[in-house]
Amino acid sequence: MKTDILAKPEEYRYRVFDFRLYDGDTYTCGAEVQYRIQVDLGFERTAYLDFTQHETFTVRLYGFDTPELRDKRPAHKAAGYLAKQAVVDWVNQAHARGDVYFLSEQYEKGKYGRPMGDLVDADGRRVSEYLVAKRLAVPYHGQNKADIQAQHEANVQYLLAEGLIT
């Protein structure tokens, strides 16, 4: 899997730092953005200027949906906070092993104008797959939210039965 991530063009992958999570699938981060500018010097000569700039932006993690923190149902709200903490723990553990990247596989922005992508560690593991496997998120690719409510409900019931939320 690591070779798959590293094979992506550089403009799709950003090293993440200064990570601030809103909920399980939305965060603000600082990232290193690399630029290459081509300058025509005339006389059939071209120069390239490469530089890295630190930028901050809000991102929507693509491919999954976590329970909402503002849900009026206590168990669903608790599941949302558990998902948020799971992402924080995943990022901290991933940073301990190496860099964490925001990987965007599309240039389109989401419904609210945010870049879409996934968090990936240095070994190619994705936070989206981790959360879905832990039943803290459900697969989501822009369909109607009503279509995934049954999956969210099943996950909440599982988390209640396991004693992970109350």
How much is the pLDDT for 107? 60
Say what the pLDDT of residue 143 is: 84
- 51-80 pLDDT per residue, tens: 888 888 888 888 899 999 999 999 999 999
Q: Which residues of the chain have pLDDT under 70?
A: 1-11, 106-108
Cβ-contact 58, 27 below 8 angstroms: yes
pLDDT for the residue 84: 95
User: Which amino acid is present at 146?
Assistant: A
What is the pLDDT at residue 106?
Answer: 67
- Give the model's pLDDT for residue 137: 96
Domains of the chain: 2-161 (2.40.50.90)
Both tokens of 95, joined, read 């940073």
Q: Are strands 13-23 and 100-103 parallel, antiparallel or unpaired?
A: antiparallel
DSSP string, 45-63: EEEEEEEEEEEEEEEEESE
114: number of Cβ within 10 Å? 17
